[in-house]
Amino acid sequence: MKKFWKIVAVSTTILFFSATAMPALPGNHWTVEAAGTVKLNKVPYQTTANLNLRTGPGTKYKVILTIPKGKQVTATEKSGNWYKVSYSYTSKGKKYTKTGWVSGSYLKKVSSSGSSASASGTTKITKTVYQTTANLNMRTGPGTKYKVILTIPKGKQVTATEKSGSWYKVSYSYTSKGKKYTKTGWISGSYLKKVPTSGSSGSASGTTKITKTVYQTTANLNMRTGPGTKYKVIFTIPKGKTVSATEKSGSWLKVSYTYTSKGKSYTKTGWVSSSYLKEYNQYINTAGTYYFTTKTANLYSGPNTKSKAASVPKDNGFYSTKKVINSIGQTFYQVSHNGKNLYVHSGDVKKVSPAVFSETKYKANTDTWLYQSPGINTAKLVKIPKDAVISSSLSVASWYKTSYGGKTGFVQAGQFSKYSPGFTETKIANESYLVTDNLNLRQLPDTKSAILVTISKNTIVQPTHKTSNGWFKISYNGKIGYVSGDYLDKIIVPAYSGTIKPYLFLDLRKPSKVTAQQIDQYIAAKAKGNTSVLLNKGKVFIDAGKKYGVNALFWRPSPFMKAAPGHLLCPWEKITFSVSGPLMRRRT
């Protein structure tokens, strides 16, 4: 019993020591980096010794069981020199399968041909000549834990025949005291450069140069002296910071990180795991700018050339308010194309400045379209018929910006000619007119011109211009156009000093468009009580107007009298009527 308690006590002490000895991360924050675990296709191996199967990739993990020497296991994952394997065996007539981690140092690969190779990563390679880039220790095995055989001076050549991870098995020949010696051992590939027959050199450790690329960290990330977790940590880069990568080794990138501390700028260079990086694109808002393609150009769904979305011909225009500098320094402009936000490379377009001028009218020479942007490959907004007149005060290249049919867009300048109307306009002010019938407001002073809106009868309008062909320019319900003067009666309302009410003037010599039916309808609607003596007498008013050359509205009861009970004509209002020619007044 005493022995039992002693064992427990010792175990507890070990656990306590292990827990307290774990180093805390600086700044009390978690730092993440690549764990090194990679998936493998199912690979069969054979144990070369009795081998412990553990719960994790390391000797600190608990032993599940011991696999006898010569047994076969199947590996599915790798972490450093440890393999996650499945091991099947039979005990007391029953079959069992255990899964866990074993050291690759005691495994050999079992190929379909029956041959085996070391699971620790040692492979035969074609004889390759390298040159040392520093004084370099040759060791008895592929790692710093192995004994040093000798130190190879910087600049010497060695011949490699095997590789294990980043270590190479090489032969080195040298002369000492007149005698020639050759030593064979392992050296680190980090200090070798390849010497091909052409004389050029490249890194032996798998490090390759890459296009300078900007990345953003997705977590607090350790920068190390080399491409792996075994290398010393130089610095921890905070999450969300940007770094520039120039070299790559496996899943590791050599980066530069610039930061400011106590008012000073510092730059650190080292290796980080790419698992916690994402490419960084810089978006910049700009003043609105027009760009035109200089050749057939591709549009992309993102600010890079990886995702083509559309193709547009030369001289197609776009309007952009945002540019993007992507992770490798390329510039793209964000543009709208057929309702989608896409990107065009800056090298495929040129900037075009718009021309602003006084508002000018243009007439369509043929049926055409209003486009969303200055290009025939953009969305068509509305059809514009031949002879339609548009107004524009801005042009971009060979396009006019205009509005038509309630839409704003661009038209091809080549399909329009400057509009010269066959009339002149004279500005007028402070004049009111009564619309005598439902009247069309047209785009131009011509019955063939497009109708903008219909103005209801008895509406009072105030024109701003009168044309030489008898039309009036007015604004009605937010639209500006022209109405025929044949359906307007001028109302003159001068204000006389000292009077309470103004006099109403009506030009009696001007023929009216009012009809007998309209007069009959009006009297029937206004008559009250007994039947009016004026009912159905509309034609009498019309005939009298024609006979005496007087505006029929003079005879119409509405301006100055009303039908009343007793068949009497009663005063309506103080009104003065004027005519051209001999003065004629009726006062009541």
The pLDDT tens digits for 112-121 are: 433 344 445 6
411 three-class SS: strand
Domains of the chain: 37-109 (2.30.30.40), 122-194 (2.30.30.40), 208-279 (2.30.30.40), 282-352 (2.30.30.40), 355-418 (2.30.30.40), 425-491 (2.30.30.40), 494-588 (no CATH)
pLDDT of residue 182: 92
**Mean per-residue pLDDT for 263-268?**
93
Q: Give which of 59, 65, 31, 33 is closest to 47, Cα–Cα.
A: 65
Region of poorest pLDDT, from 124-128, 156-160, 534-538 = 534-538
SS3 content of the chain, % helix, strand, coil (to 5): 10, 50, 40
The pLDDT tens digits for 72-100 are: 999 999 988 889 999 999 888 888 999 99
Contact 164, 197 (CB under 8 A): no
- Residue 195: pLDDT band with limits 50, 70, 90: confident
The three state secondary structure string of 193-259 is: EECCCCCCCCECCCCEEEEEEEEEECCCEEEECCCCCCCCEEEEECCCCEEEEEEEECCEEEEEEEE
pLDDT of residue 339: 84
Q: For residue 18, is it left (φ>0), alpha (ψ between -120 and 50) or beta?
A: alpha
Query: Quick check: 463 pLDDT over 50?
Result: yes
162 three-class SS: strand
pLDDT of residue 343: 96
**Mean per-residue pLDDT for 442-452?**
86
Distance separating alpha carbons of residues 330 and 374, to the nearest angstrom: 25
The pLDDT tens digits for 345-357 are: 999 999 999 999 9
The residue to which tokens 């903008």 are assigned? 452
- Is residue 236 exposed (0-12), middle (13-18) or buried (19+ Cβ within 10 Å)? middle
pLDDT of residue 476: 93
pLDDT of residue 509: 63
Convert 241-262 to b/e letters by CB count within 10 Å (16 or more is b): ebbbbeebbeebbbbebeeeee
Q: Give which of 403, 417, 411 is closest to 317, Cα–Cα.
A: 411
**Mean per-residue pLDDT for 520-528?**
74
End-to-end alpha-carbon separation of the chain, Å? Answer: 137
What is the per-residue DSSP string for 489-537?
Answer: EEEB-PPPTT-SS---B-BTTS-----HHHHHHHHHHH--SSPPTTTT-
Pairing of strands 399-404, 407-412: antiparallel
Distance separating alpha carbons of residues 554 and 280, to the nearest angstrom: 83
Please report, rounded to a whole number, the percentage of residues in the chain having pLDDT higher than 90.
Answer: 45
**Mean per-residue pLDDT for 154-169?**
89
422 three-class SS: coil
Average pLDDT, the chain: 80
The pLDDT tens digits for 544-563 are: 877 777 776 665 544 434 43
The total of other beta-carbon atoms located within 10 Å of residue 539's CB is 13
pLDDT of residue 552: 67
The three state secondary structure string of 306-361 is: CCEEEEECCCCEEEEEEEEECCCCCEEEEEEECCEEEEEEHHHEEEECCEEEEEEE
Q: Give which of 507, 515, 514, 499 is closest to 574, Cα–Cα.
A: 499
- Residue 510: pLDDT band with limits 50, 70, 90: low
Nearby residues of 205 by Cβ (< 8 Å), 6 or more positions away: 166, 188, 189, 190, 192, 227, 249
